[in-house]
Structure 1
Amino acid sequence: MPATRKSAPAAARRKSDAAPRPDRQQAILLAAERLLAQRGYHGVTIRQIAEEAGVPLALVAYYYGPKQDLFHAVFAHWGHTIEERLAALDATPQDPADPQTLTRIIEAFVSPVIRMRSSPEGQYYAQLVGRELAYNSEEAERVLHDFFDPLAHRFIDAIHAALPHTTRADVAWGYQFALGALLHHLVDTRVERLSRHLNSASDPAAAERLVRFIVGGLRAALPDEGSDTKTAKKRSPTPPNRRQKP
């Protein structure tokens, strides 16, 4: 009987050691985010992530599996930012007759990301997005397919509805250009030097200006309403009765 009483706490300790530790899981995730953002996917090892998190090496695989799954988990951790952007988009009235509709769509696209970037942890995530998702790696493709492609399709559809005279193919180009402006704003620090230190990198106050830039760019780059008709008129031959005599 005494042996039984002694073994019970030992069994409880073993069970406690095997149970998930949210603090350790979070430490691993944040360490992976920081190192991946700073060094890139192929510049970081699982051992380095474990050392940065201050956990045994085996725990990284225990909680997250191989490195590509940990990479995926970092983006899953930030899924709430995507949800926030889609919720803002859903709250935007889709009225193509309202000239403010496009602006509100782009605000939903930009504003949650700018707020995220202003947080200490968000800085690393923004750097990671800008560094890794621009490359056609297998790991990035999985993240794009699972998280960002569905978001892109929703915003492309919304922009197309706001600009019904365009084609969806044209809007897809416009989305790519808008995304480029947003990502560059998130990760670039050169603006401080170029402005002679009058501007701050990723300044949240610049969000409104970024929205105006993207909206203006979309309206300028995408075909105007009736442009096909104008083009057809330009290309149509001069009627015979209006031709100049030789």
Structure 2
Amino acid sequence: MAKKIAASGTATRRRRRSGPGRPEGVSNVRDEILDAAEIEFAARGYAGTSLRDVAERAKVTQALINYYFHSKNGLYEEVFLRRGRLVSEQRMASLAALRQSGKKLDVRTIVGAFLAPALAMRDVPGGRTFMRLNARLHTEPPEISYPLRNAAYDESTRAYAEALCEALPHLSPKDVYWRMTLVVGAYLYAFSDTHRLEIMAPGICDPNDTEEVFTAVTSFVTGGMQAPVLRSSVVNKS
């Protein structure tokens, strides 16, 4: 599954999009700018990255960046959405295939279909950088992060929440959406290489083993989705 998704991601990277009047001999300059910007934004964040940083890494002029993307915000949006939308599209396609199979959807299958495209992204050139960017987006100002997350992921996340509501009829929509939020947090942490497993558990855990990562996160998330609802009251200690 992961290889199939990764191949699709590579094919998408090869579809070049150009603006009018592109200079001759730079057929891939737009993608090179996006790749360079992805590295800078993932490492420095939106505020910490300048167009000069991107221009130096991509070996182009700032004027050429503005020609293609108009502004730093326009560049950031395209960097995020080119892969974010691919993840969402793969999720929707997987869920549609599951529904068309006619089989009853179980929680683990739904969870696996949701997680697989993001995990497979790590095997695409530049995909690990995107996953770090993806995780970092949650720390960016809301006027930047909210519209991008909505544009990339809202449709697919809602579709999976609906599927989980069907598979877990004893849970309320509130419970499902809370747990979906925790699912997103768990996979962003696990898939973005920001953990310390190779230090904490050397020779025990291999965060570079795709199947190991997929099994660990899917098992954890499935268990969390199926857990009983524990209602607690806030204790007033005043």
TM-score by structure 1 length?
0.77
- Map of 1:241 onto structure 2: none
Partner of 2:61 in structure 1? 56
How does 1:184-223 map onto structure 2 within 5 Å? 184-187=189-192, 188-205=194-211, 206-222=213-229
- The aligned residue for residue 99 of structure 2 is 93
Q: Can you list the C-alpha shifts for 1:6-47, whole angstroms capped at 9, x where unaligned?
A: xxxxxxxxx966469441100100000001001111111011
SS in 2 for 1:91: helix
- Checking the alignment, whether the CA contact within 8 Å between 1:71 and 1:139 is kept in structure 2 is no
The Cα offsets for residues 43-86 of structure 1, whole Å up to 9 and x where unpaired, read as 11011101111111101011011111111101221122211111
Are residue 23 (structure 1) and residue 56 (structure 2) matched?
A: no
- Tell me which structure has the larger Cα radius of gyration: 1
Q: Tell me which residue corresponds to 2:144.
A: 139
Large movers: runs of 4+ above 2 Å: 15-22, 133-137, 196-203
Q: Structure 1: where are the runs of 5+ without partners?
A: 1-14, 228-246
Percent of aligned positions that are identical = 28
- Higher mean alpha-carbon deviation, 213-222 vs 171-180, is at 213-222
Distance in 2 between residues matched to 1:46 and 1:160, nearest whole Å: 44
Is the contact between residue 190 and residue 201 of structure 1 (CA under 8 Å) also seen in structure 2?
A: no
Letter in 1 for 2:197: V
Q: CA deviation at 1:222?
A: 4.3
Q: What is residue 82 of structure 1 aligned with on the other side? A: 88
Name the structure 1 match of 2:11: none
Which structure would you say has the larger RCO, counting Cα contacts within 8 Å and 6 or more residues apart?
A: 2
1:115 alignment counterpart: 120
SS of structure 1 residue aligned to 2:40: helix
Matches of 1:182 and 1:140, distance apart in 2 = 18
Q: Decide whether the 8 Å contact of 1:89 with 1:105 is kept in 2.
A: yes
User: Over residues 91-112 of structure 1, what are the superposed CA-to-partner deviations in whole Å (9 max), with x where a residue is unaligned?
Assistant: 11399x94x6211110111111
Question: Separation in 1 of the partners of 2:114 and 2:229?
Answer: 18
Alignment of 1:154-233 (within 5 A): 154-187=159-192, 188-205=194-211, 206-222=213-229
* Matched residue SS, 1:201: coil
What is the CA–CA distance in structure 1 between the aligned matches of 2:223 and 2:25, rounded to whole Å? 50
Name the residue aligned to 1:235.
none
What secondary structure, in the 3-state scheme, does the structure 2 residue paired with 1:189 have? coil
RMSD: 2.6
